[in-house]
Amino acid sequence: MKLTAAQALLRFLALQQVERDGARQRFFGGCLGIFGHGNVAGIGQALYERPDLLTYRQSRNEQAMVHTAVGYARQRNRLGALVCTSSIGPGATNMITGAALATINRLPVLLVPGDVFASRRPDPVLQQLESAGRGDVSVNDCFIPVSRYFDRIERPEQIVPAALAAMRVLTSQEETGAVTLAFPQDVQAEAFDVPDGFLTERVWHVGRPLPDDDALARATERIRAAKRPLIVAGGGTIYSEATGALRAFVEQTGIPVGETQAGKGSLPFDHPSNLGAIGATGTFAANRIAVEADLVIGVGTRYSDFTTASKTAFRDPGVAFVNVNIAELDATKHAGVALRGDARVTLERLAELLAGYEVDAAYRARAAELSAAWDDEVTRLYALGHSPLPAQSEVIGAVNEASVATDVVVCAAGSMPGDLHKLWRTRDPKGYHVEYGYSCMGYEIAGGLGVKLAAPEREVYVLVGDGSYLMMPSEIVTAVQEDAKLVIVLVDNRGFASIGALSRSLGTDGFGTLYRHRRDGSLGTDSADSHAYLPVDLAANAESLGARVIRAVTVDELRDALRVARDETRTTVIAVAADRYEGVPSYDSWWDVPVAETAESAGVRAARRDYEAARAAGRDYL
């Protein structure tokens, strides 16, 4: 069959299936895009001609469309993906931030940016980057370091091996991330004889590999010898659908669990062995157990600096590690016993090998007591009664109480993710969606849209601060266009509240973090309260983009607004201001942010002394 390269690619993508545990499903759920001169005559024409192949959704921002694809892939446990296409030039480079986010979070997205002419006949074309030292360079080379697979299609028949290689990476639980096929605009429109086998339905099997017997034996021996073991449940626990296996393992052995950002929801919040969030944004329950742990069993975690509290979380002199992970990179971290395999079947096999083993009853009881005490602290923070503006913890509490188990909360950046990690009472493995591998401002609304497209039956709550909202409110328009209802809780804290708190802790008085008018050459600091705040009306902006807007001042008004929003059929924005200075405490944890070694400011010098004292608790896990 003779097709253009773009037509062949789309027909191939529409035929790809993925299968795990006997359940088969279509891999690509559609295509997000913005058309320009680099793809309108190729990908655009192919979608126009065959709209039945992939549902096309019109985006407003290229970075946002990749965030939407990431939200979709995460909600589908990496068993589904979206295609993102853009024109050459700024349309393509706008996607690079999204590509980095996808790769860091290890979530599959397929990016198909247009490129300059492969023939080079009309060079230099509009938006072409010229190099004196290379003739084949384009702006799309910027995708290479942030993609797990990159190819440039310089002849139409090259789409066949490139598409197959792309699918191999996208469906690999170990290697997945952003896959970029840079597609020159002339090649997109060129025809070739497509092999019949390329356009045949193909099923990509996602297996559940087990670690080898020797590694399992060494891990079993190490666990049996432990007196104070602790499980750190990461995102891999949820992606591999291992939450049931984890619960059975925990109830058999009594080993308590701390959850990473991506792993939150691995156990229900009220399970007595669930200590909640661990690390720099962790609970006192998890962090106190972590300090004493003599063995850490990591399940699907990459041990980020937030998880390890910059390597100050685990302080037992002889602490050892057992790491269950599909990725060799993570399985071997901290010189742990590497159990390279699927989390679900590995936990099930460990449970068999550990028959008869359980932790001391006193240790199990202490974990349960700390878990209950932490839940009491959450209740306190939900109901502070702070005035005149509510605390952010009260806003979170109101949304949590308004939600049901299968609803999803979405967030990404600022102080909100840390507070959610501690405070959100998660009842369903897919009920918590905080992007914290890249912590990308602007992800929230676009990512929430992806969650909704992947799970239209679920209510999706997007919690976003004013700083992140101003980065990328554009996908409100897309949500309205797609009838994909979101409930967006827009928290106005008059600037970058998270960095403001960090600045104060470093002795720099919130410098550069407030939305204030310039006075006497300065934007002011926290202590210079004579500067007027900017008259920004974020709610009016949201309304202009097509959302229903409800303004709330008190927590009671917020609760009323949440009830109204639940019954609404269209995207609704609830605007509420919070006190930027009433934060949730840091519980027995630390995060390494260097402080200036020399400074004129007494506050900075004091912060440096505190920094050096805290850093002394850090260690290498070798």
| DSSP string covering 54-97 | S-EEE-S-HHHHHHHHHHHHHHTTTS-EEEEEE-STHHHHTTHH
- Dump pLDDT digits (tens) for 272-309: 999 999 999 999 999 999 999 999 999 999 999 999 99
- Dump pLDDT digits (tens) for 249-275: 999 999 999 999 999 999 999 999 999
User: What's the CA gap between 383 and 367, in Å, rounded?
Assistant: 25
Check whether residue 418 and residue 560 sit in a common domain.
yes
- In this structure, the number of other CB atoms found within 10 A of the CB of residue 587 comes to 19
Q: What is the CATH number of the domain that holds 248?
A: 3.40.50.1220
Q: Is residue 511 part of a domain?
A: no
Q: Is residue 481 part of a domain?
A: yes
**pLDDT surpassing 70 at residue 224:** yes
Q: What is the CATH number of the domain that holds 420?
A: 3.40.50.970
Is the distance from CB of 242 to CB of 344 less than 8 angstroms?
A: yes
Report DSSP letters for 145-178, one per residue.
GG-SEEEE--SGGGHHHHHHHHHHHHT-TTT-SE
Last residue in a domain, options 354, 374, 394: 374
Check whether residue 79 and residue 222 sit in a common domain.
no
- Dump pLDDT digits (tens) for 90-119: 999 999 999 999 999 999 999 999 999 999
The first and second tokens of residue 380, run together, are 């306190």
Whole-number average pLDDT of the chain? 96
Of residues 365, 415, 442, the one with CA closest to residue 582: 415
pLDDT of residue 378: 98
3-state secondary structure of 259: strand
pLDDT of residue 526: 87
Of residues 550, 556, 441, 549, the one with CA closest to residue 495: 441
Check whether residue 338 and residue 419 sit in a common domain.
no
At how many degrees (to 10) do helices 62-75 and 443-454 cross? 40
Check whether residue 147 and residue 24 sit in a common domain.
yes
Q: Is residue 622 part of a domain?
A: no
The first and second tokens of residue 606, run together, are 């004091």
Domain with 311 in it: 213-374
**pLDDT surpassing 70 at residue 198:** yes
Check whether residue 27 and residue 151 sit in a common domain.
yes
Check whether residue 335 and residue 406 sit in a common domain.
no
The first and second tokens of residue 59, run together, are 């985006």
Of residues 314, 278, 300, the one with CA closest to residue 347: 300
Integer angstrom CA distances of residue 118 from 39, 128, 618: 14, 12, 52
**pLDDT surpassing 80 at residue 515:** yes
Check whether residue 355 and residue 396 sit in a common domain.
no
Last residue in a domain, options 205, 238, 259: 205
**pLDDT surpassing 70 at residue 494:** yes
Positive or negative CA dihedral for 346, 348, 353, 355? positive
**pLDDT surpassing 70 at residue 530:** no
Check whether residue 311 and residue 361 sit in a common domain.
yes
Q: Is residue 502 part of a domain?
A: no
pLDDT of residue 543: 98
Q: Is residue 596 part of a domain?
A: no
The first and second tokens of residue 260, run together, are 């990473």
- Ranges of H-type helices in 212-256: 213-225, 235-239, 243-253
Give percent of the chain with pLDDT exceeding 70.
100
Number of folded domains in the chain?
3
- Report CA dihedral (42, 79, 66, 435) to the nearest 10 degrees: 180
Is the distance from CB of 154 to CB of 118 less than 8 angstroms?
A: yes
- In this structure, the number of other CB atoms found within 10 A of the CB of residue 133 comes to 5
**pLDDT surpassing 90 at residue 421:** yes
CA angle in degrees (0–180, nearest 5) for 492-498-503: 125
- Dump pLDDT digits (tens) for 3-26: 999 999 999 999 999 999 999 999
User: What's the CA gap between 130 and 160, in Å, rounded?
Assistant: 29
Check whether residue 31 and residue 154 sit in a common domain.
yes
Check whether residue 22 and residue 145 sit in a common domain.
yes
Q: Is residue 608 part of a domain?
A: no
- Dump pLDDT digits (tens) for 41-79: 999 999 999 999 999 999 999 999 999 999 999 999 999
Check whether residue 140 and residue 277 sit in a common domain.
no
pLDDT of residue 524: 83
- Dump pLDDT digits (tens) for 559-592: 999 999 999 999 999 999 999 999 999 998 999 9
pTM: 0.97
How confident is the model over 142-162, as a mean pLDDT? 98
User: What's the CA gap between 214 and 216, in Å, rounded?
Assistant: 5
pLDDT of residue 622: 81
Of residues 174, 3, 4, 177, the one with CA closest to residue 74: 177
The first and second tokens of residue 154, run together, are 């310089």
Tell me the backbone φ, ψ of residue 550, rounded to 5 degrees.
-125, 130
pLDDT of residue 3: 98
- Dump pLDDT digits (tens) for 363-390: 999 999 999 999 999 999 999 999 999 9
How confident is the model over 152-174, as a mean pLDDT? 98
pLDDT range class, residue 346, cuts 50, 70, 90? very high
Check whether residue 571 and residue 441 sit in a common domain.
yes
Q: Is residue 335 part of a domain?
A: yes
Q: Is residue 600 part of a domain?
A: no
